[in-house]
Amino acid sequence: MNTSHQDINHNDIKSKSADPGLTSGYHNASDRWILFLLGAGVGLILYLTLYGVRRLGFTDISWIYDMQGDIRQHYTGWVFFRNGDWQFPLGMTDQMMYPYNTSVLFSDSIPLLAIFFKLFRGILPETFQYLGAYGLLCFLLQGGFGALIAGRFHPSKVVCALFSIVFVFSPILLYRMYSHTSLSSHYLLLFAIYLWLSAAEIRYRRSVLLWALLGILCAGIHIYFLPMVGLILIAFCVKAAIHRNHSVLQAISLIPVYCISAALMVYAEGGFTGAGDLSDFGLGIYNANLNVLINGYGIDLLLPNLPFLPGQYEGYGPLGAGVLLLLILSLIFGLYHLISKGRSRTKEQDCNKPVVDSSDNKNTPRSPLPDIIIGAVLILVSILLAMSINISLNDRLLATIPLPQLLYQLLGIFRCSGRFIWIPVYVLTGTALMLLLTRCKKPLILVVLVICSAVQIYDLSSYYGHRRLPDIEQPFQSEVWEYLAEHYSHIQYIGYPDTETLVQLGWYAAKNHISVSQSIISRSDTALIQQGIEDSVAELRNLTPDPDTIYVFNNELYYPEFSLHLYDSDSVVFGVTEELSMLSAIPNAPLEIRYHDGLGLIGGEDTADGRIVHNDGTSFGPYYPLQAYTYEIIVTGQNLSAAEYDVFSGDHGTTIPCTLLESTDTELRYYYTLTEDYSDLEFRFFNHSGEDIVIEHLYIMTDPEDAPK
């Protein structure tokens, strides 16, 4: 290689034994590639051991539905995006929130790959998925960069490749793999850590290219990696400036280079346009616990299962029992090395040996103190961000940190702050690695490596079950759904369905090139969704339903003036303009609220004759979802004229005004109007009469002609 084109400052190169842990390692490009490929080979072996080959078939999607969880959302997001027309920015589609546009970025479908593969949609098979192969790629790159990091501290390729096991077999990687596939891209963190370790050697021009590449990759895979890799970039800049490999100005300039490249990628994906809320809800909830590094969360077999607060599953970040053991042993070896070194110096002084002044020797090892300080600050800042505004230990909240509103909203963009704990996990793993590789001889290294790897693998053996996938029948296989797929092109939700309905209908719709008005995406514009519902309801009330649309309702209450035929199939209530011969229409009947087991009752009991409410008792519930409409309530029973009643929503914190139609001892009739959708309506009755009130039946109806006789 021509020395004028190398990216290494040769004045900084020493022998592999000099300055271990800081500048030793592989400076030859071919050696680095060999080491990377060896580590990738380790990643390949571990992947096949854990997951087999089933997921790697580009046309096999059955396992994705079998996996349950968010991966179904990621796949359907890709299919919706593929089905839609090209727009600019490139990542936009109208298939997931029709008729509004949103970005594939918000479906966590790895937008960089989604855009790439959409370019070839004309020649790709009708059924195509890349999530399985991407999981393998994560393992390969995790192993490759893990080996390169180890190569910074030890000359043996075999030792470094074997050490990649502790990076690949990391709890935080396995926890995300195929449950939130894009968040399994931890190789981005290892790539950044490797650059940080090499900061004293990489020339400025190459630094610009590498950090710009990382900005594009982070933005194109999952934006949560942007701030995490950004923190490591700051550590890189500080180290490069301290070691004078970059000037201060050059080091600082890398930050806007990274940010601008990432911003351009986000813009190309449509992240700055289209429908999407930047809500800060969840900040301080989806955070990390102080016990995070040693908590097994019921997954690690050898770590204690410590309590944590709701939402802190996002802060899952144990080191793993093997890495914890490795860290403890490495600290012991490091301490022993320092003590032995101090004794050696004392003996030299006692023997009156001259002390060599190496201050002018260019080959003098650099002091590790700056690197230690930078690493410690990086860990501390990352932990504080992972905790966000609430500091907790086990199931106790210790303190809440008040923040200015502007800073609170800024941090709220990354509301699942517990993920920042990934940085300390990998930095501490690297620290254990450095101490072991630079303070021990090869035989001891191999013994410790084998023991700790075995402990880590056993500790995480619960993940071995992921290779065996159940065969789950996919939903909506009946004749009616096949017919609807052939004759309709859009699904409009009237209201807000539950998550499972959105997932299953989304899977069905994406597969059959049907657009939907709502999807499970990370940032949905609730105002636009509500506007779409209101516009559709207005069309239905004007007797102008879209003949190309399937209207999906939250419940079985039929709206007579909508001129729709209402059906129930696979627990989905939907309406269309035509009469379907393969299903029986839902009869236009009132909905009865049935009381049982004393649920929603204070001071009374449920009997075969009805609900009895004693004096000073209250009947409440059942937290029923209803769309915007006018409803009539008919209650039959005894002593009803003495009942006080209302309609209440806890979520909205409001009481709905009611208008009395009739009140006798045996029947109570009133109506109310909802001006927006509610998900938790309570029909409350209060008894202050001194005598029991009996509620035999309670009907919700939309047409007085359908009142029970």
Question: Looking at residue 16, what is its pLDDT?
Answer: 39
How many helical (H) and strand (E) elements, i.e. helices and strands, does the chain have? 19, 20
Question: Looking at residue 415, what is its pLDDT?
Answer: 85
b/e for 496-525, b at 16 or more Cβ within 10 A?
bbeeebbbbbbbbbbbbebbbbbbbbbbbb
Write the pLDDT tens digit of every residue in 309-318: 988 999 999 9
Query: Do 251 and 196 contact (CB within 8 A), yes or no?
Result: no
| Range with top average pLDDT, 44-53, 268-277, 432-441, 550-559 | 44-53
CA quadruple 657, 660, 665, 667: dihedral sign: negative
Question: Looking at residue 357, what is its pLDDT?
Answer: 46
Give the CA angle between residues 375, 381, 387 to the nearest 5°.
135
Does residue 431 or residue 27 have the better pLDDT?
431
Residue 606 and residue 621: Cα distance in Å, rounded?
14
Write the pLDDT tens digit of every residue in 186-245: 999 999 999 999 998 999 999 999 999 999 999 999 999 999 999 999 999 999 999 888
The token pair at 244 is 């004078």
CA quadruple 256, 524, 472, 301: dihedral sign: positive
What rounded mean pLDDT belongs to the chain? 86
Write the pLDDT tens digit of every residue in 61-120: 988 887 767 899 999 999 999 999 999 999 999 999 998 999 999 999 999 999 999 999
Which residue, 207, 213, 196, 185, is CA-closest to 152?
196
Helices 321-350, 442-459: crossing angle, 10 deg rounding = 160
Write the pLDDT tens digit of every residue in 5-27: 444 443 343 333 333 334 445 55
75: number of Cβ within 10 Å: 24
Q: Where are the domains of the chain?
A: 54-133, 277-347+366-433, 479-576, 591-706
Give the CA angle between residues 14, 15, 21 to the nearest 5°.
80
Does residue 582 or residue 117 have the better pLDDT?
117
Which residue, 588, 288, 592, is CA-closest to 414?
288
Query: Do 322 and 452 contact (CB within 8 A), yes or no?
Result: yes
Question: Peptide bond before 622: cis, by omega within 30 degrees of 0?
Answer: yes
Which residue, 157, 149, 233, is CA-closest to 187?
149
Which residue, 311, 264, 252, 33, is CA-closest to 157?
33
178: number of Cβ within 10 Å: 23
- Return phi, psi of residue 427, to 5°: -70, -40
As a whole-number percent, the residues of the chain with pLDDT over 70 amount to: 87
Extract long-range pairs of 572-579: CB within 8 Å, 24+ residues apart.
572/501, 572/505, 574/550, 575/545, 575/550, 575/551, 576/484, 576/488, 576/549, 576/550, 576/551, 577/545, 577/546, 577/547, 578/547
Radius of gyration of the chain (CA): 31
Residue 358's pLDDT band, with cuts at 50, 70 and 90, is very low
| Range with top average pLDDT, 52-56, 270-274, 493-497 | 52-56
Does residue 366 or residue 271 have the better pLDDT?
271
CA 87 to chain centroid, in Å, comes to 26
Residue 663's pLDDT band, with cuts at 50, 70 and 90, is very high
Poorest-pLDDT segment among 65-69, 215-219, 502-506, 528-532 = 65-69
Question: Looking at residue 556, what is its pLDDT?
Answer: 57
Question: Looking at residue 396, what is its pLDDT?
Answer: 94
User: Which residue is associated with the tokens 């999906």?
Assistant: 552
Poorest-pLDDT segment among 320-329, 339-348, 354-363 = 354-363
Residue 348's pLDDT band, with cuts at 50, 70 and 90, is low
Residue 242 and residue 409: Cα distance in Å, rounded?
34
Which residue, 113, 112, 139, 111, is CA-closest to 124?
113
List 490's β-bridge partners, or say none. 515, 549
Write the pLDDT tens digit of every residue in 589-599: 677 888 888 88
Write the pLDDT tens digit of every residue in 665-703: 999 999 998 888 787 899 999 999 989 999 999 988 875
Residue 431 and residue 374: Cα distance in Å, rounded?
12
Residue 707 and residue 589: Cα distance in Å, rounded?
8
As a whole-number percent, the residues of the chain with pLDDT over 90 amount to: 57
Residue 621 and residue 698: Cα distance in Å, rounded?
12
Write the pLDDT tens digit of every residue in 408-417: 777 878 889 9
On the 0-12 / 13-18 / 19+ scale of CB atoms within 10 A, 263 is middle
Q: Which residue type, as a one-letter code, is found at position 544?
A: T
Q: Which CATH code of 3.60.40.10, 2.40.37.10, 3.40.50.150, 2.60.120.380 fits the domain covering 591-706?
A: 2.60.120.380
Poorest-pLDDT segment among 121-130, 291-300, 301-310, 700-709 = 700-709
140: number of Cβ within 10 Å: 21
Residue 48 makes CB contacts below 8 A (sequence gap 6+) with none
Residue 189 and residue 194: Cα distance in Å, rounded?
9
Secondary structure (DSSP) of 376-395: HHHHHHHHHHHHTTEEEETT
Which segments within 2-154 are labelled E, that is strand? 92-97, 100-103
| Range with top average pLDDT, 396-400, 474-478, 630-634, 674-678 | 396-400
Residue 41 makes CB contacts below 8 A (sequence gap 6+) with 143, 161
The token pair at 56 is 């790697």
Question: Looking at residue 277, what is its pLDDT?
Answer: 59
Question: Looking at residue 365, what is its pLDDT?
Answer: 53
Residue 306 and residue 393: Cα distance in Å, rounded?
9
Residue 353's pLDDT band, with cuts at 50, 70 and 90, is low
Residue 539 and residue 541: Cα distance in Å, rounded?
6
Poorest-pLDDT segment among 347-361, 471-485, 498-512 = 347-361
Does residue 622 or residue 554 have the better pLDDT?
622
Question: Peptide bond before 304: cis, by omega within 30 degrees of 0?
Answer: no
The token pair at 94 is 């109208």
Residue 171's pLDDT band, with cuts at 50, 70 and 90, is very high
Question: Looking at residue 404, what is its pLDDT?
Answer: 81
| pLDDT surpassing 50 at residue 362 | no
List 659's β-bridge partners, or say none. 671
Residue 557's pLDDT band, with cuts at 50, 70 and 90, is low
Query: Do 490 and 546 contact (CB within 8 A), yes or no?
Result: yes
Residue 652's pLDDT band, with cuts at 50, 70 and 90, is confident
User: What 3-state class would DSSP assign to 527?
Assistant: helix
| pLDDT surpassing 80 at residue 472 | no
- Return phi, psi of residue 117, to 5°: -75, -25
Q: What is the mean pLDDT of residues 42-71?
A: 89
